[in-house]
Chains A and B, each alone.
Chain A
Amino acid sequence: MPATGCASPASGKGSPCLLRSSTTWLLVAQRLGIALITLVIVSFAVFFATQLLPGDVAQILLGQAATPEAVAGLRTAMGLDEPAMLRFIHWLTGLATGDLGVSYVNHMEISTLIAGRLANSLELAGVVAALSTPVALCLGILAAMYRGTLLDRAISVATIVVISVPEFMVATLAVLIFAVWLGWFPALSYGVDVDSIGAMLRAYALPVISLSFVVSAQMIRMTRAAMIETINTPYVEMALLKGASRTRMVLVHALPNALGPIANAVALSLSYLVGGVIIVETVFNYPGVAKLMVDAVATRDLPLIQSCAMIFCFSYLSLTTLADMIAILSNPRLRR
């Protein structure tokens, strides 16, 4: 039900009525609740998937030659003889309070292992997002504006190609073109010493370029689709009929109303960063969380894998939840 003072439907987008409507907040709260439940289910899945490991963790840690007493001692010390459900709850509360446990392999605190790496990964993701969002939005809107022209077709074909090939291929192609044939950048990002700003820029360039391609392609496609949907509505056609130019029709009439779906598309595309970052960090040997996790998988360092997986799931979930919330907040039809 609409709140009082909100009766006029003509008040349109951006009115304070949006924030006063209790149904909106109900929907947002509901979406947040779903996200929270999902996070619990996901952590459940991550925890128990890693418990499927055949064999006993204590046995694996101590090796074949260990005496049964030593294994039993370590099991008690690690709390492995508790029921799985209890360990899950311990692990979850530890996670919530920032106590991530200790690595099996080098016995370091996982939080210290992750801390520096996380900053690196966030830096990479942030630069990619800042770089690809404006470019992708412009290209997506242009493609929708000149739908069916050569420009639109070229953009569509290029994005389809980038989406259809694996991320590592985009990355290897970028190395091949920019590092091998053109010789602009070094092929590995951290093999070189980063003492000056120029060297640092060059070291970052290739991971950022590859990741930007992957994310932009998604974003361009979704922006174009959202924009075309708005352009096809009767009121935009009306604007064209009354003599507005194509530019005016798109930028003044259609764009403000497409902002919600476009913001939704941006948040959703950024969630592709999570998958892309795993591959790109491996290709370029970039010291981020994803590289840490892939290395942990190779050494079967379960607590580390669990923590990294939760970081990725959390960022992925927050982005998709953000996308949904933007969709709710920007859609007046959901506000009754």
Chain B
Amino acid sequence: MTLPLRLPRVRRGGEPRQKTYVFNWTGRIGLAIILFWCVVAIVGQWFTPYPVGKIVDWNYFGPVSSQFWMGTDYLGRDIFSRIMMGARYTVGISLAAVTLACAAGVILGMVAAVIGGWFDTLLSRLLDAFNGIPSLLFGLVVVAAVGSSIPILILTLAAIYMPGSYRFARALAVNINTMDFVTVARARGEATPYLILREIFPNIVGPVLADLGLRFVFIVLVLSGLSFLGLGVQPPNADWGALVRENIEGLSYGAPAVIFPSLAIASLTISVNMFIDNLPTKIRDRSE
């Protein structure tokens, strides 16, 4: 299965590089929202207006008021506080998973591209086969078998998205691998680790970072989906997907308890997409 990712063109050696690192406005707005959620994920714990698990209102599915900025949930807990705490799970788990997936995928991809031969063929075939499992389904099966805990979630999500990252990095690295400076380095007698670290990696790092951003969005979506099905972060803790699930009963009343966690997920994923789409060409290396 191929994800519709854009494969950036590889930079040619002699091209003039007058492009700068300036972000346009859409990119800046995206970056601002991403940074905002990161800050909330790190320090939000100390700024919640009410204790996260405490029932503060006898009126369940309460409306937006000056006392409860985003209403109250099905037990009468403050949604604003729960969203601030949920940021920690949603952003934290996704970030850990995407880092793991991309690190493993990129390293394996570069090694496969440089070594080539049967190692490359075997690994590519095997990981392509794993790409043949729909992502949400893979999560369902693993969680059904091993149960749900945060380390399991991180590992599962990383395992789901590692093959895609591998394929992406390998395609880029194969292109670089045929270039003259790599041949020269090889002729100099450099070892494989040197080739990978000093010759290949610096030349693919830009597109790989852009790919990491897109993969982060997919991971947030699958994590929220799993939590929504009740298989992700377990109560009493809740990430944003779990918040939507808890309060889904309130949907028929149009309760803010369902709407605000959904908005939080949407704001995070859309802003990452906005940011990645508007990355400066110098980082992204897009030919357009």
In the complex, besides A169-B262, A279-B225, 18 extra interface pairs with C-beta distance below 8 angstroms are A39-B132, A42-B132, A49-B141, A49-B142, A53-B146, A160-B277, A165-B221, A166-B221, A167-B225, A169-B244, A172-B258, A172-B262, A271-B1, A297-B231, A300-B144, A309-B141, A313-B133, A316-B137
Contact status B144-A305, CB under 8 Å: yes
Q: How many residues of A contact B (CB 8 A)?
A: 57
A164 CA to B274 CA in the complex, in Å?
10
**CB of B248 closer than 8 Å to a CB of A:** yes
Q: How far is the CB of A46 from chain B (nearest CB, A)?
A: 6
Range of interface residues on B (Cβ < 8 Å) = 35 or more
A38 CA to B230 CA in the complex, in Å?
29
Contact status A45-B225, CB under 8 Å: no
Task: From the candidates A45, A163, A168, name the one contacting B133 in the complex (CB within 8 A).
Answer: A45
Contact status B251-A316, CB under 8 Å: no
Q: How far is the CB of B73 from chain A (nearest CB, A)?
A: 15
- Which residues 224-261 of B sit at the A interface, judged by CB distance below 8 A? 224-225, 228-231, 241, 244, 248, 251-254, 258-259
A166 CA to B227 CA in the complex, in Å?
11
- List 7 A-B pairs, Cβ < 8 Å: A34-B128, A42-B133, A45-B130, A166-B241, A172-B262, A180-B254, A313-B132
- Which residues 72-89 of B sit at the A interface, judged by CB distance below 8 A? none
Closest to A321 in B: B132
Q: How far is the CB of B237 from chain A (nearest CB, A)?
A: 19
**CB of B217 closer than 8 Å to a CB of A:** yes
**Which residues of B lie under 8 Å from residue A160 when comparing CB positions?**
270, 273, 277
Q: How far is the CB of A48 from chain B (nearest CB, A)?
A: 9
Contact status B140-A169, CB under 8 Å: no
Contact status A166-B252, CB under 8 Å: no
**Which residues of A lie under 8 Å from residue B1 when comparing CB positions?**
268, 271, 316, 320
A131 CA to B229 CA in the complex, in Å?
27
A183 CA to B134 CA in the complex, in Å?
34
Closest to B132 in A: A38
**Which residues of B lie under 8 Å from residue A296 when comparing CB positions?**
144
Contact status A166-B225, CB under 8 Å: yes
A176 CA to B254 CA in the complex, in Å?
7
**Which residues of B lie under 8 Å from residue A45 when comparing CB positions?**
130, 133
A160 CA to B125 CA in the complex, in Å?
31
**Which residues of B lie under 8 Å from residue A39 when comparing CB positions?**
132
Closest 5 CB pairs of A and B: A41-B129, A164-B269, A297-B144, A38-B129, A38-B132
**Which residues of A lie under 8 Å from residue B266 when comparing CB positions?**
161, 164-165, 169
Contact status B4-A222, CB under 8 Å: yes
**CB of A51 closer than 8 Å to a CB of B:** yes
Contact status A312-B137, CB under 8 Å: yes
**CB of A144 closer than 8 Å to a CB of B:** no
Contact status A278-B229, CB under 8 Å: yes
Contact status A165-B269, CB under 8 Å: yes
Do A50 and B141 form a contact, CB below 8 Å, given A160-B270, A165-B269, A316-B134? yes
A96 CA to B69 CA in the complex, in Å?
56
**Which residues of B lie under 8 Å from residue A52 when comparing CB positions?**
145-146
Q: How far is the CB of B254 from chain A (nearest CB, A)?
A: 5
Q: How far is the CB of A306 from chain B (nearest CB, A)?
A: 8
Contact status B252-A320, CB under 8 Å: no
Contact status B265-A169, CB under 8 Å: yes
**Which residues of A lie under 8 Å from residue B10 when comparing CB positions?**
none
Contact flags (1/0) for A294-315 with B, using CB distance below 8 Å? 1011101010010001001100
Do A172 and B248 form a contact, CB below 8 Å, given A38-B129, A309-B140? yes
Contact status B229-A187, CB under 8 Å: no
**Which residues of A lie under 8 Å from residue B135 when comparing CB positions?**
275
Contact status A164-B129, CB under 8 Å: no
Contact status B265-A166, CB under 8 Å: yes
A300 CA to B140 CA in the complex, in Å?
11
A329 CA to B286 CA in the complex, in Å?
30
**Which residues of A lie under 8 Å from residue B144 when comparing CB positions?**
50, 296-297, 300, 302, 305
Closest to B265 in A: A166
Do A320 and B132 form a contact, CB below 8 Å, given A165-B265, A166-B241? yes
**CB of B7 closer than 8 Å to a CB of A:** no
Contact status A274-B137, CB under 8 Å: yes
Closest to A39 in B: B132
A293 CA to B2 CA in the complex, in Å?
26
A179 CA to B252 CA in the complex, in Å?
8
**CB of B197 closer than 8 Å to a CB of A:** no
Contact status A164-B270, CB under 8 Å: yes
**CB of A37 closer than 8 Å to a CB of B:** yes
Contact status B225-A313, CB under 8 Å: no
A16 CA to B155 CA in the complex, in Å?
50
Contact status B136-A278, CB under 8 Å: yes
Task: From the candidates B125, B137, B241, B269, name the one contacting A313 in the complex (CB within 8 A).
Answer: B137
Task: From the candidates B251, B273, B277, name the one contacting A187 in the complex (CB within 8 A).
Answer: B251
